[in-house]
């Protein structure tokens, strides 16, 4: 009798040990772990609406890692859609934006991804996406008439460029940089760390990963690609990279189910509805984190065929598409980077 009661506890403890071991093997680092002759130091915080962490491998780089976390919060003053008074908030509320500003440069990049995808990537759908409540209690899809109305105020033509300034066409148009800002910020954080002499590290902005310099012992990082299920800590596969950004867009993080239908946060700009094309995630590998971030969303909306075509036309850019049956489709060159340990 006693043994029967203990069994679930033993299984639970065993499962936790296995999960920890898996995490350790896949990520190849953890706070305080010794690597080569040095020690990993991970600084963590909450910014950009997610958990952010920066890992460096040398004690002397600790202050730079801490400063990098602080920088993430500073970037909210530019890119947050919800923080009152942020530059994006001002822009969304009628302010003119100098085209020389950082915000304008990210908007310009976003317009590039919109252009190469015939509008599949669209940052002017803030009015539509704010109709969905993926994080709170109100997990009910919005009224179709509200979606249609909000869609009338989206589209790149709603960003008016005149002379040295940008502004939005009307007060109902809302820009949303949720699919590109984290990547841009990761690139800036890497530049900051390198300017402080940091030679190797991992920047993780809520799963938007940018690693550089390889591990101190000269080996590559193993970056796990998350199993596409809500709150999953398992990995579908892992890739081995020295310096690269790895970004995944998936249906599993911000989503809810209503009357048996999954509603997630990647929206089709033509309908305002969550994209439904059989995909559950798209992972992009690229040197630029901004590119990886924007392309992961772009390719998700484009779907497997068009997305693969786009990525295969780009140099040093790789993609893995995962469908709802967990089949993985790789772009040219992706498989060569799969970690042997995966
Ligand atoms: P995550 O925020 O998990 O990193 P993504 O990079 O895929 O995921 O970005 C999804 C976010 O981008 C959504 O929460 C929304 O703010 C915005 N978004 C949704 N659909 C699109 C789209 N078609 N084009 C550009 N941005 C989008
Ligand atoms: Mg993205």
Q: Are 123 and 176 in contact (CB under 8 A)?
A: yes
Distance 291 CA to ligand 2 centre (A): 9
Distance 200 CA to ligand 2 centre (A): 24
Q: Which ligand is nearest to the CA of 294?
A: 2
Using alpha carbons, list the distances in angstroms from residue 327 to 151, 281, 291, 318.
Answer: 33, 11, 24, 17
4-47 tens-digit pLDDT: 455 555 555 454 444 434 444 333 333 344 444 568 999 999 99
> Can you give the pLDDT at residue 228?
79
Residue among 300, 194, 217 nearest 254 (CA) = 300
- pTM (2 decimals)? 0.89
Q: Are 43 and 72 in contact (CB under 8 A)?
A: no
Distance 184 CA to ligand 1 centre (A): 14
> Can you give the pLDDT at residue 18?
46
- Choose one of 174, 179, 277, 282 to mutate for the ligand 1 pocket test, by most ligand atoms within 8 angstroms of C-beta: 179
The pLDDT of residue 233 is above 60: yes
Give exposure, 258-276, as e/b (b: 16+ Cβ within 10 Å).
eeeeebbbbbbbeebbbbe
CA 133 from chain centre, in angstroms, equals: 19
Half-sphere exposure of 75 (CA within 13 A, CB side): 28
The pLDDT of residue 213 is above 90: yes
Contacts of 218 (CB under 8 A, 6+ apart): none
Distance 140 CA to ligand 2 centre (A): 24
- Choose one of 178, 249, 291 to mutate for the ligand 1 pocket test, by most ligand atoms within 8 angstroms of C-beta: 178
112-168 tens-digit pLDDT: 999 999 999 999 999 999 999 988 888 899 999 999 999 999 999 999 999 999 999
What is the widest separation between alpha-carbon atoms in the chain? 80
List residues near ligand 1 (CB under 6 A): 121-123, 125, 129, 176, 178-179, 182, 208, 249, 253-254, 265-267, 269, 293, 296-297, 301
Instruction: Please state the rounded mean pLDDT for residues 43-56.
Output: 96
Query: How does DSSP assign 271-338, residue by residue?
Result: TSSBP-SSEEEEEEEES-HHHHHHHHHHHHHH-HHHHHHHHHTSTT-EEEEEETT--EEEPTTTGGGB
69-124 tens-digit pLDDT: 999 999 999 999 999 999 999 999 999 999 999 999 999 999 999 999 999 999 99
Q: Which ligand is nearest to the CA of 290?
A: 2
Terminal CA-to-CA distance of the chain, rounded, Å?
40
Residue nearest atom 12 in ligand 1 by C-alpha distance: 179
Tokens 């950004």 — which residue?
245
Helix ranges (DSSP H) in 60-162: 62-79, 87-92, 102-116, 126-129, 144-151
Determine the Cα–Cα distance for residues 24 and 126; give it in Å rounded to an integer.
Answer: 38
β-pairing, 328-330 vs 318-323, is antiparallel
Mean of per-residue pLDDT scores for the chain: 90
Determine the Cα–Cα distance for residues 258 and 142; give it in Å rounded to an integer.
Answer: 11
Distance 22 CA to ligand 1 centre (A): 29
Instruction: Please state the rounded mean pLDDT for residues 35-61.
Output: 88
Instruction: Please state the rounded mean pLDDT for residues 305-316.
Output: 98
**Ligand 1 atom at shortest distance from the alpha carbon of 134:** 14
Segment (H or E) for 7: helix 2-27
As a whole-number percent, the residues of the chain with pLDDT over 70 amount to 88
Contacts of 92 (CB under 8 A, 6+ apart): 81, 126, 168, 173, 174, 175
Residue nearest atom 6 in ligand 1 by C-alpha distance: 179
**Ligand 1 atom at shortest distance from the alpha carbon of 121:** 24
243-262 tens-digit pLDDT: 999 999 999 878 999 999 99
Q: Is the dihedral of CA 156, 160, 163, 165 positive or negative?
A: negative
- Choose one of 133, 265, 307 to mutate for the ligand 1 pocket test, by most ligand atoms within 8 angstroms of C-beta: 265
Distance 285 CA to ligand 2 centre (A): 12
Distance 14 CA to ligand 2 centre (A): 36
């Amino acid at each position: 009798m006693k043994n029967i009661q203990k069994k679930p506890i033993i299984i639970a403890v065993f499962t936790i040990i296995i999960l920890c071991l898996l995490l350790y093997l896949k990520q190849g680092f953890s706070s305080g772990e010794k690597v080569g002759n040095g020690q990993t130091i991970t600084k963590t915080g909450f910014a950009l609406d997610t958990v952010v962490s920066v890992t460096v491998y040398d004690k002397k780089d600790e202050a730079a890692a801490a400063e990098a976390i602080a920088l993430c919060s500073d970037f909210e003053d530019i890119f947050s859609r919800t923080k009152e008074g942020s530059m994006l908030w001002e822009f969304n509320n009628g302010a003119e934006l100098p085209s020389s500003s950082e915000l304008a440069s990210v908007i310009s990049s976003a317009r590039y991804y919109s252009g190469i995808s015939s509008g599949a990537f669209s940052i002017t759908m803030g009015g539509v996406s704010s109709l969905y409540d993926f994080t709170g209690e109100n997990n009910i899809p919005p009224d179709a008439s509200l979606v249609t109305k909000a869609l009338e105020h989206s589209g790149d033509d709603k960003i008016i460029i005149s002379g040295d300034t940008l502004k939005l066409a009307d007060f109902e148009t809302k820009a949303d940089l949720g699919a590109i800002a984290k990547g841009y910020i990761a690139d800036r954080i890497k530049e900051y760390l390198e300017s402080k002499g940091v030679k190797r590290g991992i920047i993780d902005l809520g799963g938007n990963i940018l690693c550089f310099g390889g591990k101190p012992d000269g080996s590559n990082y193993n970056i796990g690609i998350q199993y596409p299920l809500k709150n999953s800590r398992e990995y579908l596969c892992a890739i081995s990279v020295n310096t690269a950004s790895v970004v995944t867009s998936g249906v599993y993080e911000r989503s809810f189910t209503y009357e048996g239908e999954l509603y997630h946060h990647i929206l089709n700009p033509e309908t305002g509805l969550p994209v439904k094309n059989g995909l559950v995630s798209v992972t992009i590998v690229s040197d630029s984190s901004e590119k990886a971030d924007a392309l992961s969303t772009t390719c998700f909306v484009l779907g497997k065929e068009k997305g693969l075509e786009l990525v295969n036309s780009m140099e040093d850019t790789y993609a893995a598409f995962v469908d709802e049956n967990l089949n993985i489709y790789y772009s040219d060159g992706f498989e060569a980077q799969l970690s042997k340990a995966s």
